[in-house]
């Protein structure tokens, strides 16, 4: 080769090292490990299969027949259908909704139109009669009603002035007090329904009725389903205990918040176990709702916020905001009435939730899930892009997958068996705990 001298070789000697340097700093393509891909696929399979599990587990898709009461308990509130067939008569409790539904709920009763005699409204501090409305859902037209006060500022009887046609109906009832709003009740009418609901005798006290309900539940539920809330409580309690022990070595704010969140998980599942075994009380229903339905997801999201946000003032803002909202929610739950007539049968669903409590619950669950899942996926993406901390990346994916598993389990309650929720809770909490251990 000729010597590298002359006019043109100087440029070669200069540019060659530069080209080598530029080529060496090009980002390398990082392949996702097969184990990580397999884990993600398993999580996706779990999320898809959990809502479909009831189809293969023998959950009935029919609505359980509702019984009638001869008289209303003293502390009963809400909307009741007055039914009679010429021989028997009674009152049927309708389940309240805090918001109007787009579709007719499967849990609403279906009755013969000839059996309906009126609508009984029991409420502390009745509103003007015109504000209690009945709509036919197919036409969205209001049904004209006559109102008769049965008890001053306490009880009202509404009767349609025209015969009700077969179809689905919506009762819109105002709720007063500090958090004024509306509650919604649903029922359907069909001449194809010929059976008249059974009447619970007045002589059979609450203990006898609760025993009958418990016996029926024991006959229709699999024994292993009773253990699901217990397993959720044990897994959540173990996770909270492990996190609390780590705090003794070094206090990390996000671990302290996550420890509290898993403790709330454990308390909620434990109240379900106690309610199933010993019977539900009003305070037990309130404890379940505030710990399990309202606060737990919000505190999980706050833990992720404290982990990802670096600015102290933003971390303090999130912490104090969550503390204030939690205190407000606890106050609302403590003041919320519980329907004693349906408590033994419905459990924590007998809690009458004001509009403000419903909005807070929706907000905390939505924002908490977004922070927990979004933060975990964002951290996993950063670890993968930088090619560092593969174990933490897998842990973040597990945290996100566990949170989504718990969220997906809420769809199981639409099949009429709320205890199936703990099938997803047990799996989801275990996956989140596994992810925490890897981070």
| Contact between residue 399 and residue 432 where contact means Cβ atoms under 8 Å apart | yes
Neighbour-count burial of 56, counting CB atoms closer than 10 A to its CB (0-12 exposed, 13-18 middle, 19+ buried): exposed
Regarding predicted confidence, which is higher, 137 or 227? Answer: 137
219 and 263 housed in the same domain: yes
Tokens standing for residue 407: 């969220």
Regarding whether 216 and 170 lie in a shared domain, the answer is no
How many separate domains does the chain show?
2
Going by pLDDT thresholds of 50, 70 and 90, the confidence category of residue 38 is low
User: Cα 314 vs. chain centroid, distance in angstroms?
Assistant: 28
Residue 20 domain-assigned (yes or no): no
Does 381 reside within a domain? Answer: yes
Among 168, 197, 226, the domain boundary falls at: 197
Residue with tokens 């530069």: 18
Same domain, 166 and 227: no
235-255 mean pLDDT: 86
pLDDT band at 28 (very low <50, low <70, confident <90, very high): low
Residues 429, 364, 326, 437, Cα dihedral to 10°: 30
27 found inside a domain: no
Structural domain boundaries, residue 121: 68-197
Which residues make beta-bridge pairs with 168? 188
Tokens of 114: 């000839």
28 belongs to a structural domain: no
* Residue 276 lies inside a defined structural domain of this protein: yes
- Residues 218 and 110 placed together within one structural domain of the fold: no
Please check whether residues 246 and 351 belong to one and the same domain.
yes
Q: Does a structural domain hold residue 11?
A: no
Residue of 249, 271, 283 lying closest to 351 (CA atoms) = 283
Same domain for 265 and 287, yes or no, is: yes
The top-scoring range by mean pLDDT among 64-68, 94-98, 309-313 is 309-313
Compute the distance between CA of residue 251 and CA of residue 273 in angstroms, rounded to an integer: 32
d(CA 120, CA 144): 15
CATH, residue 141 = 2.60.40.1220
Looking at the structure, do residues 176 and 236 belong to the same domain, yes or no? no
CATH code, domain carrying 408 = 1.20.1070
Shared domain for 248 and 380, answered yes or no, is: yes
In a domain, 7, yes or no: no
Determine which of 150-164, 326-340, 423-437 has the lowest per-residue pLDDT on average.
423-437
Contact 255, 247 (CB under 8 A): yes
Of the listed ranges 106-115, 304-313, 338-347, the least confidently predicted one is: 338-347
**Sheet containing 78-84: order of strands:** 145-151, 155-160, 116-122, 78-84, 89-93, 68-69, 199-200
Domain edge (last residue) among 171, 197, 223? 197
Q: What average pLDDT does this structure show over 417-436?
A: 74
Tell me, yes or no, whether 375 and 238 share the same domain: yes
Residue 275: partners with Cβ closer than 8 Å, 6 or more residues away: 281, 284, 285, 288, 347, 348
**One domain for residues 144 and 227:** no
Q: Give yes or no for residue 351 having a pLDDT over 50.
A: yes
In a shared domain, residues 45 and 72: no
Q: 165-185 burial, b if ≥16 CB within 10 A, otherwise e?
A: eeebbbbbbbbeeeeebebbb
Residue 46 lies inside a defined structural domain of this protein: yes
Whether residues 297 and 417 share a domain: the answer is yes
Mean pLDDT value of segment 235-254:
86
Residue written as tokens 């176990």?
273
Domain final position from 166, 197, 228: 197
**What is the C-alpha separation between 11 and 16, in angstroms, rounded?**
8
């Amino acid at each position: 080769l000729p010597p590298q001298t002359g006019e043109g070789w100087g440029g070669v000697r200069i540019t060659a090292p530069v080209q080598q340097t530029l080529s060496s700093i090009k980002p390398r393509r990082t392949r996702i490990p097969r184990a990580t891909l397999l884990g993600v696929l398993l999580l996706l399979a779990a999320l898809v299969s959990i809502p479909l599990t009831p189809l293969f587990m023998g959950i009935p898709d029919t609505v359980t027949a509702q019984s009638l009461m001869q008289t209303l308990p003293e502390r009963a509130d809400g909307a009741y259908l007055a039914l009679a067939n010429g021989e028997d008569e009674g009152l049927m409790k309708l389940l309240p909704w805090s918001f109007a539904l787009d579709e007719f709920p499967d849990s609403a009763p279906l009755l013969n139109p000839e059996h309906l005699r009126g609508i009984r409204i029991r409420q502390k501090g009745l509103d003007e009669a015109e504000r209690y409305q009945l709509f036919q859902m197919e036409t969205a037209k209001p049904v004209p009603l006559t109102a008769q006060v049965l008890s001053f500022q306490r009880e009202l009887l509404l009767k349609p002035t025209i015969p009700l046609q077969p179809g689905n109906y919506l009762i819109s009832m105002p709720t007063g007090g500090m958090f004024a709003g509306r509650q919604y009740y649903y029922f359907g009418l069909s001449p194809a329904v010929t059976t008249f609901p059974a009447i619970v005798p007045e002589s059979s006290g609450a203990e006898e009725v609760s025993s009958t309900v418990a016996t029926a539940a024991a006959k229709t539920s699999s024994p292993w389903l009773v253990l699901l809330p217990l397993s959720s409580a044990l897994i959540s309690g173990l996770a909270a205990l492990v996190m609390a022990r780590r705090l003794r070595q070094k206090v990390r704010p996000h671990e302290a918040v996550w420890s509290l969140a898993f403790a709330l998980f454990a308390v909620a599942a434990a109240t379900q176990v106690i309610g199933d075994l010993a019977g539900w009380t009003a305070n037990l229903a309130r404890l379940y709702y505030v710990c399990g339905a309202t606060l737990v997801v919000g505190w999980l999201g706050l833990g992720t916020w404290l982990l990802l946000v670096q600015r102290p003032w933003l971390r303090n803002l999130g912490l104090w905001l969550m503390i204030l909202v939690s205190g407000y929610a606890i106050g609302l739950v403590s003041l919320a009435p519980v329907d004693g007539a349906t408590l033994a049968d419905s459990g924590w669903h007998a809690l009458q939730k004001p509009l403000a409590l419903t909005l807070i619950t929706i907000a905390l669950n939505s924002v908490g899930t977004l922070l927990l899942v979004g933060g975990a996926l964002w951290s996993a993406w950063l670890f993968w892009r930088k090619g560092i901390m593969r174990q933490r990346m897998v842990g973040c994916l597990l945290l996100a997958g566990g949170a989504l598993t718990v969220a997906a389990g809420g769809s199981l309650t639409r099949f009429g068996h709320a205890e199936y929720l703990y099938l997803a809770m047990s799996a989801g909490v275990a996956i989140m705990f596994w992810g925490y251990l890897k981070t």
